[in-house]
Amino acid sequence: MGFLRSYESLVISSLSRFSRQTAFVVALGVGVSCVSCGGRGGGRGGDSRDGGGGGPAGDNLLIVSIEPLRFLVDEIVGDDFEVGVLVPAGASPETYEPTPLQMRAAEDARLVFSTGVIDFEHVMLQRLSSPERFVDLSAGIELISSVDGGAHVDADGHGHAHGGVDPHVWVAPRGLARMARTAYERIHELYPDSTSYTANYARLSERLAALDRTVAERIAASPTRSFMIFHPGLTYFARDYGLRQIALEHDGKEPSVKQLAETVGLARAEGVSKILYQSEFPRRVVEVMAAEIGAEPVEIDILGYDIVGNILKITEFIAPSATPVPKD
């Protein structure tokens, strides 16, 4: 019980500090407000670009809520638009709040692409004077309810909890492919004569289909059927590939002593050798749990621009093999 009580205290302390973090934004410039921008030339490596000057005009501006969506939109529109990102690096989308300047930028943008399932996106939709420009990329995806406040998903893809929707729809190749299709369809509605957008989307669609095949083959060839993660960000990934996600965090709340004891027992029974975590969350909490069960803390990135490469890395962490996952 000594470990469980000290761990619980550490979780409470760390999550409290995390919840008080204030997100920041990168200004595009005085004329257009406050989203971090980068087109294909400026953001391929995932770094946002300050547009400088007065920023792009509204007709040349598209906005996305998070970096992985910028990847999808960039792949479709190429260099034709500036693509601004609302949530900056290091901030959590689940605790983020749009600023007044960001709302002004959203009003000026041609389209605003969202995951459709993050709270701050709903706030923006309610405030926009032209909600028809708001594109919900979760359309067509079978959403998953939060599990025990976001804790466990079994290999059959079913959860055991109530309330809320798991927002991490983009962290799975099949969900990502459906989001790309929705983005393309909305862009095509505005620019039906653009053959380049259609060709770009076709290439992106095949790339995401290939990603799905690679991940499915790797998981099928591996004996691994479960993994542990601090924040339950791989719920859709687990469902799509028949895996069990064991999460330490419960809907942003510290687990109880009883829940910790159950999680430790489950991790040992499942032979967990790694605990995945995002850099946005406290590593120290993960290290304590990892030491208790003899596992290795492993940092993952689900909010970066290169979502395809990041999914491949996650796959290798969960189902390692002698042959590394091929680079996309």
Give the pLDDT of residue 323: 57
pLDDT for residue 35: 52
Q: 114: which strand partners?
A: 136
Query: Which residues are bridge partners to 37 per DSSP?
Result: 49, 84
> What b/e string do you get for 259-281 counting C-beta neighbours within 10 Å, with b at 16 or more?
bbeebbebbeebebbbbbbbebb
Question: Can you tell me the distance from the alpha carbon of 244 to that of 3, in angstroms, rounded to the nearest whole number?
Answer: 25
**Angstrom distance (rounded) from CA 226 to CA 213:** 19
Question: What is the reported pLDDT for 2?
Answer: 53
Low-confidence ranges of the chain (pLDDT < 50): 11-34, 37-39, 41-56, 148-163
Tokens representing 261? Answer: 């004891």
- pLDDT at position 328 is 60
Stated pTM of the model: 0.80
pLDDT value of residue 180: 98
Among candidates 174, 130, 101, 197, which has minimal Cα distance to 84?
101
Contact predicate 157/163, CB 8 Å? no
- What fold, for 2-16+219-318? Rossmann fold (3.40.50)
Sheet holding 296-300, edge to edge: 152-153, 244-247, 226-229, 274-278, 296-300
Query: What per-residue confidence (pLDDT) applies to 164?
Result: 86
CA nearest to 279, candidates 86, 21, 43, 102: 21
All structural domains of the chain with their residue ranges: 2-16+219-318, 22-139+165-211
Which residue, chain included where needed, has tokens 């709302």? Answer: 103
pLDDT of residue 151: 45
CATH code of 22-139+165-211, in short, is: 3.40.50.1980
CA distance 306 to 271: 30
pLDDT confidence of residue 58:
63
Give the number of C-alpha atoms closer than 13 A to the C-alpha of residue 319, restricted to the C-beta side: 23
Q: Do domains 2-16+219-318 and 22-139+165-211 have the same CATH topology?
A: yes
Burial group, residue 16, by CB count within 10 angstroms (0-12, 13-18, 19+) = exposed
Of the candidates 98, 107, 30, 101, the residue with the CA atom closest to the CA atom of residue 66: 98
Amino acid identity of residue 183, one-letter, is A
pLDDT of residue 281: 82
